[in-house]
Chains A and B, each alone.
Chain A
C-alpha cells in the first residue's frame, strides 16, 4: 500500500509541485463545492466583470451535490460528480487562481493542458463512496446560491479527505496511464 501525502489548503506552489499522478492524498482545510449550475453562474459573473461570491486564490473546488443531512449528521452523503461537465467553465476559474479540483472521471485535453499552464491539480475521489467521504467533512456552510439546493456553493471544512492525483502540473493523466498498463485489446 502506497503512503498518503497530507496537504492542507490553500494550496501553495511547493505543495502543487510535489504532487504526481497516482499519489494518494489526504486533504485537510477548506473545500468549496460547486457543480453544473453554480459553475454556470460563476462564469456568467466573470463574463460580466462582476466579483465572485468566493475568493478562489489557492482554493480547491469539489464537484459535489450532497444529500441532505440526517439529524446528527454534518452533511449527507457527499461523493464526487462527473467532472467533464465542468470542463467548459474551468479555465476562467483557473485564471482567477483556482488551484485544485476534485471530481471523478477524466478531463478534456484542454483542461489537462490548463493544469500545466495554470499550475493546478485535478484530484479524483472515489465516485459512489459518498457515505464514507461525508465522514471526513467536519463543517458545512452555504456561502452562495442557496436557491440551487444541492447545487448551492458550500464551504466545507475537511479532515483527511482522501483523493488521488489524476492530472498534475506535468501533463500526467492517471486515466490514460492506468488504462495503458492494463489494456489487453483494442476495439478498432
Chain B
C-alpha cells in the first residue's frame, strides 16, 4: 500500500485552487485567439480582446481571472493501493480549499444553507466526486465553477425515442435560452445516459476535456461537431451581444442506461474555463 501524507494533499489542493483561478490553460488561450480571428461582430471582437487582456493581467499579477472564483468542484480518482496518512482524504481536500481560497485572495461564494444563505466564509464545502480505480495513484481534477454559467444548465429525462435529434434540439434550446447570461463564448458539457444524477455528473466531467478534443467514439465525435456548428449559428456571440462565436466547443460523455430512459444533462461553462489536474 502506497502512502501519501495528508499535508501533501492539502498543499496540492491549495495550489490547484490558486493556479486554476489565476491562469487560463493553453487550450483556452488558443481557443480565444481562434475565436478572435473568426468573429465578425466588432462588438464581439472587442469583448474577446478584453477577455484576452484580462487573462494576461490575471496571469502576470496572480489575481483571479474572474471575481466569481466558483464552487470548488473535484473529481478524485483514488487508487485501490493508495492510502492517505495523517488524516482523511476528504478532510485534506477541504483543508486545501480553505487555504487556497483564503491565502489566494479568492472570493468565498458558498452559503451554508440554500435558503437561509449565510456565507461559510472559506468557500467550503467543495463538491467532490470520488471514484475508486486500480493502481496506487491519486488523481485530482479541480474546477472553479462559476455560478452564472451553472445557473443556465439543465437536465431532462427523455423517452428513448427522442434519439440523437432530440438531444441536439435540447442542447440548442438550452444554449439559446441562456443567451448572454453564462458569459459566452461557452463550453458545453453534455452527459447522456446513466440515470438522473449521473447524466449531470457526466456533463460536468465533460467540461474537463481540453478544447478541440473529440470523443473517442466517432459517432459521438461527429455529434459534438454537429452541435457545435449549430450552436454557432445561433448568433448569440461573445457576451450575448451578437456574433459568430457562441461556443468554443461541445464535449459529450456517455454511459449505459435503463431500457426505459434517455437521461440528458447540459452543463454550461463560461469562457473563464478554469480547471487543473494533478497526479500524486
Interface residues of A (CB under 8 A from B): 1-2, 22, 24, 37, 64-70, 73, 76-79, 81-82, 84, 104-106, 124, 126-135, 148-151, 162, 164, 166, 174-175, 177-185, 187
Contacts and interface: CB of A to CB of B under 8 A. Distances in A.
A22 to B, nearest CB: 7
A182 B244 contact: yes
Contact of B63 (A134, A166, A184): A134
A132 B55 CA distance: 8
Interface core residue of A81, A133, A175, A178 (most chain B CB under 10 Å) = A178
List the 8 closest pairs (A to B, CB-CB), nearest first.
A178-B242, A183-B235, A182-B235, A105-B181, A184-B233, A185-B233, A127-B183, A129-B54
B67 A181 contact: no
B54 A180 contact: no
Contacts of B68: 65, 79, 81, 130
Contact of A67 (B106, B169, B236): B106
A182 B183 contact: no
B148 A129 contact: no
B187 to A, nearest CB: 13
Interface in B95-111: 105-109
Interface string B50-65: 1101110110011111
Contact of B239 (A104, A130, A162): A104
Interface stretch (B1-9, B76-84, B171-179): B171-179
Q: Could you tell me the dominant secondary structure of chain B's interface residues?
A: loop
Interface residues of B, number: 56
Contact of B234 (A66, A104, A174, A185): A185
Given A76-B63, A105-B148, A174-B242, 7 more contacts: A78-B67, A129-B66, A164-B43, A178-B242, A182-B235, A182-B243, A187-B169
A64 B109 CA distance: 12
29 contacts: A1-B42, A1-B46, A24-B46, A70-B62, A77-B65, A81-B68, A82-B151, A104-B183, A105-B179, A106-B240, A124-B239, A124-B241, A126-B239, A127-B66, A128-B51, A129-B50, A129-B53, A130-B54, A131-B54, A131-B57, A131-B58, A131-B64, A149-B108, A151-B119, A174-B241, A178-B41, A179-B237, A181-B242, A184-B233
